[in-house]
Amino acid sequence: MTVAPMRGALVHLRGVAMVGLEAYPVGIECARSPGLPALRLVGLPGAAVREAEERMRTAVQRSGFSWPRDRVVINLAPADLPKVGTGFDLPLALAVLAVTGQLDPCRVEGVSAFGELGLDGRIRSPRGQVTAARGAREAGAGRIMVAAGGAGEAALVPGIDVVGVADLTEAVDVLEGRRNPRRVAPITTSTSRRSLDLADVRGQPIARRAIELAAAGGHHVLLIGPPGCGKTMLAHRLHGLLPELSHDEAIDVAEIASIGGERRPDDSLSLDPPIRAPHHGATMAALVGGGAGIPRPGEMTLAHHGVLLLDELLEMPRRVLDALREPLEHGRIVVSRANARVEYPARVLLVAASNGCPCGYLGDTRRTCRCDPAAVERYRARLSGPLLDRIDLQVAVQPVEGARLAGPPDGESTEVVSQRVAAARRRAAQRWATMVGEKTVVRCANRDVEPRLARDAAGSKVVARLVDSLDRLGMSARAVDSCLRVAWTIADVDGDDRLSHDHVDEAVAYRAMDTNGRGE
Amino acid sequence: MNDDRGTQAGRRRQGRGVAAEGQGSDGDLGRDRFAGNLPPQLASDVTADVAATVAADGSDPEAIIRVVAWAIRPRRSPDGLRRACRDSDACDDPFKHVVTLAGAPASDEIAATRQVLTAWQQRGVKVALVGDPLYPQPLAEAFPTTPAPVWVAWRGEAIDKAPSIAIVGARRASGYGTAVAAWLAESVARAGVRVVSGGARGIDAAAHRAALEAPGGTAVVLGCGHAVDYPRPHAAPAGLFDQVVDHGGTLLSECLPFEQPRAGVVRARNRIVAGLVDAVVIVEGGERSGALLTASAAADWGRAVLAVPGDVRAPGSAAPHRLLSEGAAPCTSPDDVLEVLTGLGTHQVAAVSRLTEHDRDRSTRVLADAVWNVLAEAWPRPVRLEDLAVASGVPDARLMALLTQARIAGELSEGHDGIRLRREPADVSPHRCP
């Protein structure tokens, strides 16, 4: 059935507007009316959406269609939601074609589309392909038309039919039923780490143990030591110890990378946890997210489900350090700006490294530290109590002698240790799931376990002894839960079902910032 | 009604007056703003009451008011009074002469004096003038030719005639220096010798802490006034200074309560440390260490000087090694200190019953033998954690647990350069080669 083009007829399509990782359905209404040739875009179009007119006009003409010679109005509803990005090109062009009768308006009614137009009519995939598909599904759409190049990425979202089209002509042909939609190739998964092997690290048995515990329990870790002692090397090795991401986690990571512009749409789905290592000069906006207009995800969000490596932690401005506190606690960040409030996930494993004093050589046997003791205290005080409380493992790292550095590997490899880490994680997940009475084993690292649960599992005797120990050592009682979490991880790594005194005592020993230099 | 209004207006006027005075004041230390409102007679009465609570047993409150009032005037210091006393001719009783020289306070000095005294009173500080019964005896000798302070103000017990030594050294101390300082301090304090030091970080603090609970006790000579929190961690509530006072020690200062720890003041403090004791032990210090000042002050006072040899390459060995080359007695064990004290003939000093870790029964010792032996071999040098793990052969996890248990049991000390036994190990005695 064909309907004659009617002046005054309305065409409805659907696009997706994104605010951070939130996707909102946008109704695209297009009408044609007599008047001088003009395209009016209303409904808070962003700069890129306003520029769409030029891309559309050329692409439409180059694809063998004609551009309307009268007045076309397009409204993006809701009109008060800011629309940014180039994903509106495709639905807008389809709307124009439909309202001018070059495409059957009935066929486009309610169609969701997301894609950027090239001047030759080709369709590219903009940032946020996954988010767009998810948003369309949540808005009730059964199908979304996207660029063929990004179809695989969009198809990661279950429950929605993804149609990939290469150019405008193909889009029209598919909609009119003249051509079958092409088959979307499922995106392949890949892993590529393991290049940095733990066996490369010589000596450092205690620091290696701490790294293993951090990986097994998801504990934030701080390595303190002079320059060149291997802090950064160890921190990078921690990444290799983490288990592969689950499929859902990998999609989360891909989605964030896509929004952050860190990922090409045709990249395979990586099962590697991300690792981000911002420079210590990074601003607060770079770390937690921000920027003009709609805040972009920061490094903490880009490291979601992965590792955030902060080298020279104490060189970071105090304000930036304190901004880490909330995300580390809650696993998400809320960035509020004048025109948008965005919530980003940020469940990271923080691996921080720092010198022990301003000159760096405190605790180095090869060189003498020249810092005033009061200056050292001030330097360390930059790490505020609340932030330090969230770092379960604090280890002093010391340089390894040259002879051992040149010698053969003297420690276990990443392969061996990561197997232990995986087993420990399974054990922990099993225990917490049983304790809360869940049938299915969820992924739950010891770091995330509720303090009450960890205490219950440990038993009151163990907890009482721990409180007493901390008191005798002059350490804050706030460390109780942190020590218990680590103690559980130690038990998991050692393959024990019950928490022994040794597990707890070992956990207490990983509080170098509390104990080191005390009473001197 | 009228009365009320009048009172309010009066208050307002008074308020303005106070504000104007505050703005116009020259920032003089302790200028009491309300002092002008008290009749002169009343002001001096109130001040006398405060002075009476601050004065130590046997000290004259009126004399304290005079001396303090003299010292708080601009461009004056307590030591000016001593010099004036030294330089004047009529000096049959220098202690009385000091008070005479100070003269009667002017009426406008009364209020400022009261503020100083009140600051002391609030902190439970006692004050004695030179020559008073509770003024430390060794300091008062040969006054006014020796640079003894005109008054001392202290918290805690007054300093008695017990034998005492000073243990001084660098703030940036190594684990070795800290261990030796603590070893010497605890051992001699157990023999009834008071350990005096400057309350600074590093060596000073290690000596104070180690002597804290022993019979000899410890005394801190502050480099600032009692109302100044310096060094901050030590002056904090329940910090080192509170512990010293709680354990029957002394927190002594020659400064006005709000005197800041300027370099000159802190250095001047060293002469008091030297004057209070029979012998001075220098543990660690750089080329320009304040410990050298203490040593030269000790020579001026005629006190014995000992120095602890250190690593020849360590920067912290410069001061003790220089003193050794200049003739200081080498100090390699607590016995050396006690021998010097006995040799002075002024005191009867019991031989030290060596306090070593063998006091702790081997069976109650927390540390495993493998770990213990490594630490004992190295003592008083610290061992780095990684080295301890390798050398002891104890599995890392077990080692970390053991260390926590040993810390709780008080068997260990640790610093930035490693872990060491808190006390001298009995089994190995590296300081006495056969």
- When the pLDDT of each residue in chain A is averaged and rounded to a whole number, the result is 88
Residue A183 above 60 pLDDT?
A: yes
Asked if A356 is an interface residue toward chain B (Cβ–Cβ < 8 A), one would say yes
Task: Assess whether pLDDT exceeds 90 at residue B415.
Answer: no
Beta-carbon separation of B396 and A206 below 8 A: yes
Judge: A516–B416 Cβ closer than 8 Å, yes or no. yes
Please determine, for the modelled complex, whether the ipTM score is greater than 0.90: no
Quick check: B381 contacting A, CB < 8 Å? no
Distances (CA, A) of A488 to A138, A235, A240, A505, B331: 39, 22, 22, 12, 49
> What are the counts of helices (DSSP H) followed by strands (DSSP E) for chain A?
23, 18
| pLDDT for residue B75 | 85
B130 alpha carbon, distance to own chain's centre = 18
Select from A356, A396, A509 the Cβ nearest to the Cβ of B401. Answer: A509
Contact state of A509 with B209 under an 8 Å Cβ cutoff: no
| Average pLDDT rounded to a whole number, residues A421-447 | 82
- Among B178, B400, B420, pick the best mutation site for testing chain A contact (most A Cβ within 10 A): B400
With beta carbons less than 8 A apart as the criterion, state whether A105 and A99 touch.
yes
Read off the pLDDT of each residue in B122-134 and give the average, rounded to a whole number.
Answer: 95
Query: Is a pLDDT exceeding 70 seen at residue A192?
Result: yes
A 463-492 residues inside an 8 A Cβ radius of B: 469, 472-473, 490
Give the pLDDT mean for B212-218.
Answer: 94
Question: Measured between CB atoms, does B231 come within 8 Å of chain A?
Answer: yes
Two tokens, residue A515: 């104990």
From A513's Cα to the closest Cα of chain B, the distance in A is: 11
**Ordered DSSP codes for A58-106:** HHHHHTT----SSEEEEEEESTTS-B-SSTTHHHHHHHHHHHTTSS-HH
pLDDT given at position A294:
79
Model confidence at A384: pLDDT above 80: no
pLDDT at A159 over 50: yes
**B412 vs A400, residue with greater confidence:** B412
Task: Name the strand (E) or helix (H) holding A352.
Answer: strand A349-354
For residue A161, give the H/E element and its range. strand A161-165
Is A1 a residue whose pLDDT tops 60?
A: no
Residue A485 has pLDDT above 60, yes or no: yes
Per CB-CB distance under 8 Å, the chain B contacts of A503 are 401
**What residues in A contact B385, CB-CB < 8 Å?**
206, 396, 398
* Residue-level pLDDT at A295: 85
Interface membership of B400 toward A (CB under 8 Å): yes
Summarised one tens digit per residue, pLDDT across range B27-58 is 444 444 444 456 767 777 888 999 999 999 99
Smallest Cβ–Cβ distance between B389 and the set A206, A373, A377 belongs to: A206
Test B172 with A372 for CB contact under 8 angstroms: yes
A302 band by pLDDT with thresholds 50, 70 and 90:
very high
**Contact yes or no for A520 and B205 at CB 8 A:** yes
Residue B36 near residue B43 (C-beta atoms within 8 A)? no
List, for residues B171-198, the tens digit of each pLDDT value. 999 999 999 999 999 999 999 999 999 9
The DSSP secondary-structure symbol of A486 reads: H
Question: Is pLDDT above 80 for A317?
Answer: yes
CA distance linking residue B253 with residue B264, whole number of Å: 14
CA distance A432 to A452: 12
Inter-chain residue contact A206 with B384, CB threshold 8 Å: no
Average of per-residue pLDDT across A125-146: 91
> How sure is the predictor about A442, in pLDDT bands with cuts at 50, 70 and 90?
low
Asked if omega into B78 is within 30° of 0 (cis), the reply is no
Residue B161 to chain A, least CA–CA distance (Å): 29
| Residues from chain B contacting residue A371 (CB–CB below 8 Å) | 172
pLDDT score for A441: 53
Specify which of A510-519, B98-107, B356-365 reaches the highest per-range mean pLDDT: B98-107
Reported confidence tier of residue B354, pLDDT bands at 50, 70, 90: low
A241 to A197, A237, A244, A490: CA distances (angstroms)? 9, 7, 9, 16
All residues of chain B having their beta carbon less than 8 Å from the beta carbon of residue A380 are none
Residue A469 has pLDDT above 70, yes or no: yes
CA nearest to A203 within chain B: B386
Taking the Cβ of residue A450 and every Cβ of chain B, the question of whether any pair is shorter than 8 Å is answered with: no
Q: Hey, is the C-beta of A372 within 8 angstroms of any chain B C-beta?
A: yes
| Mean pLDDT value across residues A259-272 | 83
Between chains, do A209 and B400 touch, taking CB under 8 Å as contact? Answer: yes
Amino acid at B390: V
Vertex B25: Cα angle to B19 and B27 (nearest 5): 120
Are A509 and B403 an interchain contact pair (Cβ–Cβ within 8 Å)?
yes
On whether the CB atoms of residues A162 and A151 are closer than 8 A, the answer is yes
Q: pLDDT tens digits for A224-263?
A: 988 888 888 898 899 999 999 988 899 999 999 988 888 8
Query: What amino acid is encoded at B6 in this protein?
Result: G
pLDDT at residue B122 above 80? yes
Helical axes B396-408 vs B385-392, angle rounded to 10°: 120
Rounded to an integer, the average pLDDT of A199-208 is 88
Please compute the mean of the pLDDT values over residues B221-232 and round it to a whole number: 94
Q: Would you tell me which residues 169-188 of chain B have a C-beta closer than 8 angstroms to some C-beta of chain A? A: 171-173, 178
- Position A150, amino acid: G
pLDDT score for B13: 39
The answer to whether residue B17 scores a pLDDT higher than 50 is no
